[in-house]
Amino acid sequence: MAKVSRLRPTRTVGLVAVTLLLSACGLRPVYAGGGAGPVATALSSVEVAPIEGKSGWLMANALNDRLAQGGAPAYRLDVRLQDTIAGLGVRRDDSVARERRSLRARYQLVKAATGQVVLDATAGSDAGIDVVRSEYATIAAENTALERLAGIVADQIVARLALYARQRPAAAPPPAPSSVP
């Protein structure tokens, strides 16, 4: 004979209470509404200004891939990058054994119509690189690290832009036409 398990009333009440508490915590999805939601619409109205250098080219491509522009831009994203490589470990022959590549970005979101800066923030990440005897392999590792860092920093920037888009005050609706004869 199979044993039927029943939840005790206390356990059921506890599960219902936890469910109600979790639903009341105030968490809301950032991308609610999908591609037609307010955050996705705001992100698609951001134009990325040209960024200097190889790291800038990679960053601009990563940002454009994530923002999926559509229509006339309402905002311009200005990004300044700082790309550095520092040696960390030293071998017996005084050659570098390990490097750290750092990519830091200071970015500003600017209203296209007025030129007003509405968001000024920073993002950044680091990557470790093993320095091997082959110079070609080391350069390839440095380039791969830069590509990964550009993607990581672009993700950070887009996440911050999405939070700004969700928290910004909604535009006031146009006044209703008056029906005065």
Q: Where are the domains of the chain?
A: 36-167
The predicted pLDDT at position 90 comes to: 83
Q: What average pLDDT score do residues 63-85 get?
A: 90
b/e 171-180 (16+ beta carbons within 10 angstroms → b): eeeeeeeeee
Mean pLDDT of the chain: 81
What pTM does this model have?
0.74
Q: What average pLDDT score do residues 151-156 get?
A: 96
At 77-104, the pLDDT tens digits run 999 999 999 998 888 888 888 999 999 9
The winner for highest mean pLDDT among 25-29, 64-68, 121-125, 172-176 is 121-125
Question: Is 23's pLDDT higher than 80?
Answer: no
At 124-136, the pLDDT tens digits run 999 999 999 899 9
Nearest Cα residue to 100 out of 87, 118, 91: 87
User: Please, what is the Cα angle at 15 between 10 and 21, to 5 degrees?
Assistant: 125
**Homologous superfamily of the 36-167 domain (CATH):** Lipoprotein like domain (3.30.160.150)
Extract the runs of DSSP E, i.e. beta strands, from the chain.
46-48, 75-90, 96-111, 117-130
At 155-172, the pLDDT tens digits run 999 999 999 888 875 543
